[in-house]
Every structure is written in C-alpha cells, then in structure tokens.
Amino acid sequence: MKVIEIRDLHKIYKASDIEVHAVNCVNLDFQEAEFAAIVGPSGSGKTTLLNLLGGLDMPTSGQILIDGTDLSMLKSSALIDFRMRNIGFVFQSYNLIPVLTAKENIEFIMSLQKWIKKEREERSFELLKAIGLSDRTNSRPAKLSGGQQQRVAVARALASRPKFVLADEPTANLDSKSASTLLEIMEKLNHEEKITFIFSTHDPRVMKMARRVITLEDGKVVSDDVRE
Amino acid sequence: MIIQIAWKNIWRNKTRSLIVISSVAVGVFAGVFAMAAINSSVVQRIDAAVNEELSHIQVNSREFRSSSDIQDLIPGFNEADSALKSLPGVKTTTGRIIIRGIASTSAKSSGVEINGIDVEKEKEMFTLNNKVIPGTGSYFGSDTKFNSVLIGEKLAKDLNIIRYILTPEAVARLDSLKIPSRVLSKLETISGERFTSDKKFNSELEKLLTSDETGKYAIHIKEAAWSYREGAKLILTFLDMDNNQTGAGFRVCGIFRTNNDMFEGMSVFVPARELRALTGMKEETWHRIIARLDNDDLTDKITEPARKALPDLEVLNWKEISPDLAMIADFMGQIYAVFMVIILAALAFGIVNTMLMAVLERTKELGMLGAIGMNRKKIFSMIMYESIFMSVVGGFAGMGIAEAVIAATQKNGINLIKYSEGMEAFGYSAHLFPTIDAGFFVSTTILIVLTGILASIYPARKALKLNPVEAIRTE
C-alpha cells in the first residue's frame, strides 16, 4: 500500500540572483513498512527532500500525497495538525524536551493528540521496553547518553503510530556501538509496527541495513535500489 | 502537559528565574508596603478628624459658619435634633455652643474657639476624652471643679502653661534611658532653669549639644523636661448674647494631645452649662448639632436626606467641612494608580527581557516542537504560562512579604518622630500603623496576572515567528 507519492517535485532556493535547484523533478513512491535510506553527497538535496516530505518546507512545484492528501493543499495550522498525526521525526541531535523525563518525552505527542492517560502509559511502557530503556523511565535527557537519547527520540516518533518516520542523519552523532543498537531497534520496530522509515544518511551502516537506497545528486534521483 | 512543561521550563535556569522572581517580589513588596504606609497616614488622619474633631455631620444655621455670631443659634433645636436622629444610620447627636474668643494667661494670649459641650454625650461621640495627657488632669471627671477648661497641648505651650525644666527627676529618667553621661554633663548648665517655650528650649539644646546628639537625644530630653503648670489658670474672653464683652477665669482641668497642631491650638472645651451662665444663652439653645453615624461609609448617603429633613439649616458632612481631607482621600486612588503603574511597568520589563532571552536560547527546541506538531496556539500558551508563572510567583511572594511586614509593623507602628513637627503641623501622625484593605491585594493580584499576560505577548509572538526548519538548524 502506498503511503507517500511524490510527483514532479521541485524546490528552488533563490539567494539574490542565484537560483539553487535543491530538489529537481523527483518522482518517488514509498510503500507501507519500507525501511529506506536517502543518500548522496553533501548538498545533494537529502535534507531538503526530507523537509518537504515532512511538510516543514513547501515545494516550488510538484505534489506530495500522503495517503492521498496533498500536503500543499493544507493550510498552515492544518499542516501542523497533519504532521502531528501522520509523521514521526527523528533529528540528528536528538532534540528531546530537556525538562521532561524519557517517559514524558515519549508520551508528549500522544498528549497533544489527547490520548487517555492509561493508553499513553501502556504505549510508552511498551516502547521503553522495545528500546531497552525500561530502567530509565524517569531519567531526563541530560542523564542519558547520546545513544539512549536517540532511542527515546525514535520511541517518541513512533509513539502515536504515525504513517511514516523521517530520520535526518539519526546516527551522525553516535559512536558505532550506539549506532548499531539504534539501527537494530529501528529495524525491529519497523517490522513489528509496520511503520515506514525514511532516513537521510551518510552512514554506511544505515545504507547496509536499509532495504531500499535512493541516491540523490544535485537534487535528482540518480538511483533507486530496492533490496530483498 | 503544556502547563507542566511551562512550569518546568522556568526552573531550567534557576538563577535567572530566581533573580526575576525576587525582583518582582521586592518591587511588589516595596510598592504595597509604601502604599500601606501612605494609606495609614491618611486613614489615621481621617479617623482622627472624624473621631476627635468633626464627627460625620454638622448642622448649624445658614449664617453661622461665616458670621460666627453668638446669636446665630439653631432655631427649633429640639425639632431639628429629633428630625436628624430619626434618619436611619444616625447613631447619636449632640449640641454644641461655639463661641469665638481669646484665651490669655499672664504671659500670652491666643485666639480660640470655645466649645460648650454636653460632656456625657461628647464622651460617647468623640475619643478626645482618651487623649488627655496623663498627669495633666482629666476630661471633666466627677472631681472637676466649676469653671474648668480642657485645652490642647499646642495652646498650653503657646500660653506658657507647659514649659521645660530639667529637674533632678528628669535627669534621673534620662539616665535610666541610657542617655550617655557626656550628654547629661553638658545639660548640667541648664539644670533647674525654666524654658517657657519649645523654641527657647530647642535653641538651648542646640547650643549645648552637637547636631548629632541633638538629633538622637533631643526628643527624650524634651519628653523628660516637659512639665505642666498644675492648676494653671487662663482667662477666656468673649461676647455674650447682648454683645457685651464678658469673660471668666478658668482652671485647666486637662490637656489633650492629638496629631493636629491646629486643632490643639484653637479648640478649648467647657461644659455648656458654664458658658450658658456666662453668656446668658437659654437652655436647649445651641449653635450646632453634631451627628455620629453608624459607620463612616454612610456619610455621603445620609447627607442628602439630612438636608431634605432640615431645609432651613446648613447641613455639611466632614468631607465638605474639610475638603482638603476629602481630596486626600480621593487622591489616594490616584496615588494607588501611580504606584501600581510603576510596579507593574518594572515587572513587565523584567518579564519581557527574561522571556526574550528564554525564547532566544530555546530557538532550536521551539523549532523542534513546531516540527513534531505542537501547534502555534500551544507554543504561544506555553510561553505565556511561563511569564504568568514568574509574575504570579514573584507577585504573590512580594504580597506575602508585604502582608507579613504590615502585620509586624501594625502592632508597634513605624515611628517617624524625627519628622513629627512637620507632620503634626498638618494634622498627620508621625507614628504610622501601616494598613491596607483586602481590595488592594485582590486588585494587585489581578493586575499582576494581567501584566504577566501582556508582558508575555511580545516574546510569545517572537516564538511563533520561528521557522521550524531554520530553528532546528540553530546551534
């Protein structure tokens, strides 16, 4: 089942008189439960594409349909709401809410979605167990290692069962052991929860683990390899 | 969740938040306490005016206030008195004979207003009987002889009835007050000498002591040397009902002390029957009816009905008789407003500054919150809650401290005796008992919360303007 359809997507940045074609006529589809990596050299348009997919940036032209909804047709407030309900984000530098505990961070989006307390607690407990941090439930981010924080960030992104998760260089700040653990957890959750994961990455470990690798160069898709 | 995060956010930078909260608290405390002190001064002045000098409502013939003529009596006093008494809210009434005259001793003389009073009723209506300086006599007690007069301390000083003598007893008293012996030895030269006025005694003290010593000890020295010429006599001279000059010698039966020098210097009190005998005024004739109401707040309410009930007489309430006091009472509202504007402006600037810093520091985090789906309304609310929490915590702490300090100082008061001369010349007590009504606390609370809300709008709008993509990239 198609989760994302990208049609003739362009993103042009204008800086004084210079135009930069960050995303150039991209056409892609993502299916349910995919585990896909977008790779390419710096400046190839990976992050821009991820931002467009996440509705954080607007395309110059083209369409992004998520479960049939055209993102460019949504008004600002509706788009924020759409993001909250359908897209999970994992950032390079974790970006957890520093004043909340691991459990509270995981429950944050569920709270915004007004889940009842019991369901929130069940889900956060389940995710904390899945990421191997059941014993750090009440730890604040500052008390967790980088790898642990990123695991909490993954759990937060998955908590409200979004249609897909966008992860921008999720392993970039992690040592190899933490990165491997994180990838294993993400892959496991991808299987169990049937949620699509899309990464932008330079990390060969992520590329190796991904079942689909899309390569961008100068904003264009130059290869799209699906591995089984 | 948003409220919880907002509260926790405040404590992320404990030092900064505590500094802001403390400065809000100190500002609110200073404002509220200063207000309470100013308020107490005015309340005490009004209380004194109502309880010692004017009462609530005064009625006299239409001409009496301008003419002060002994013959301008209230026509049909009994009917007028009954009509006034029958008004709901009027607690009690009394009549007064009021005659302008001159009080003189062998040394000096002074213009006075001689009040012929019904002693028992006056005791019910005024508190002047409690203001008699101990040791100077009493307020027309049972042992008071015929032709007795009650006078104020200021008049007693003006007429040289009070003087200053440093007797051995006075020196012993000063010694017990731990006045340094070097000061006492300097005073030896004037031991036993009689000073017939404040001014003379003051200038002598200034000659003998250093200005520092005068500032510190003059009050105690004057208190100890204060002496009253017991059984002093004075002559009261005035016109009788036939416009003939008359007068009599009166013995001072007591000296009262209030905070109003003008009242002390002008008003003397004599039982009405004695004035009647001297002036030829008939029984049941009076110049003025004075009414006491059930409470101060009824003053404006009852004035009009009283005027309607007594159309031929002049009916004035204390605010009309003493418009300066009424103006100060009204002016208090404006002083409140000025104080509040200053306090709240300081509070608002502190909050805006702190919250702008907080927004700037948390750009990345706010961008992330926007990205993961926290809508603009919630981000705005979060920043607002943070501002409101800081204002409210600081505001309440300030009010709590103010309340505690007001309660502590209410018992013993704040003694501004150094400034007593100036303050009492205008009728204000130099001993303040800070007081503030509950309404002030309620309105201050509301204003603090409103200021917190208003002060948060600018930083909250700044937070809304952040673009999530750019904000997340911020380091």
Domains of chain A are 33-59+74-226 (3.40.50.300)
Contact B220, B105 (CB under 8 A): no
Q: In angstroms, rounded to a whole number, what is the distance separating the alpha carbons of residues B139 and B201?
A: 29
Q: Are B24 and B350 in contact, with CB atoms under 8 Å apart?
A: yes
For chain A, say whether B438 makes contact (Cβ under 8 Å): no
| Number of helical H runs and strand E runs in chain A | 7, 10
Alpha carbon distance B470, B321 (integer Å): 71
Residues in chain A with CB shorter than 8 Å from the CB of B472 are 91, 95
Does B469 sit within 8 Å of A97, measured CB to CB? no
**Total residues belonging to chain A:** 228
Are residues A109 and B372, on separate chains, in Cβ contact within 8 Å? yes
CB contact under 8 A, A85 and B373: yes
The SS3 of residue A223 is strand
What token pair was written down for B198? Answer: 């404040």
CA distance B448 to chain A (A): 26
Structure tokens at B174: 């000063």
Tell me: the pLDDT tens digits for A21-70? Answer: 899 989 999 998 899 999 999 889 998 999 999 988 889 999 999 988 89
The pLDDT value given to residue B411: 76
Q: Looking at this protein, which amino acid is placed at residue B32?
A: V
Task: Report the Cα B177 to chain-centroid distance in Å.
Answer: 29
Residue A73: CB atoms within 10 Å: 10
- pLDDT of res. B424: 65
pLDDT tens for chain B, residues 1 to 475: 788 889 988 888 888 889 888 888 888 888 888 888 888 888 888 888 888 888 999 999 999 988 889 999 999 899 999 999 999 999 999 999 999 999 998 878 999 999 999 988 998 888 888 888 887 888 887 666 778 899 999 899 888 888 888 888 888 888 888 888 888 888 888 888 888 777 888 888 888 888 888 888 888 888 888 887 777 889 999 999 998 999 899 999 889 988 888 899 999 999 998 899 999 999 889 999 999 999 888 888 999 999 999 999 999 999 899 888 888 877 877 887 887 888 888 888 888 888 888 888 888 888 888 888 888 888 989 988 988 888 888 888 988 898 888 888 877 777 766 666 666 666 676 677 787 777 877 788 788 888 888 888 888 888 888 888 788 777 6
Chain B residues inside the 8 Å CB shell of A88 = 372
What is the pLDDT averaged over residues A123-138? 89
Q: What is the ipTM of this complex?
A: 0.87
B364 in A contact zone (CB under 8 Å): yes
**A-B contacts (CB, under 8 Å):** 59
* A105: pLDDT strictly greater than 70: yes
- Which residue, among B5, B17, B372, would best test binding to A if mutated, counting the most A CBs under 10 Å from its CB? B372
pLDDT of residue B206: 86
> So what's the pLDDT on residue B330?
79
Question: Do residue B1 and residue A57 have CB atoms under 8 angstroms apart?
Answer: no
Separation of alpha carbons B320 and B340, rounded Å: 29
| Domain ranges for chain B | 2-48+325-473, 63-160+230-311, 162-228
Considering only alpha carbons, which residue of chain B is nearest residue A94? B368
Residue by residue, DSSP assigns A138-149 as: T--GGGS-HHHH
- Residues of chain A found within 8 Å of residue B9, distances taken between Cβ atoms: 99
Nearest to A100 among B5, B372, B374 (CB): B5
Q: Which amino acid is at B458?
A: Y
B374, A57: Cβ pair inside 8 Å?
Answer: no
Mean pLDDT to the nearest integer, A110-136: 89
Q: Note the helical H segments in A67-203.
A: 76-86, 102-112, 117-130, 146-159, 176-193
Given CB atoms, is B434 within the 8 Å cutoff of chain A?
no
- Between A71 and B434, the more confident residue is A71
> Which residue has 């306490």 as its token pair?
B33
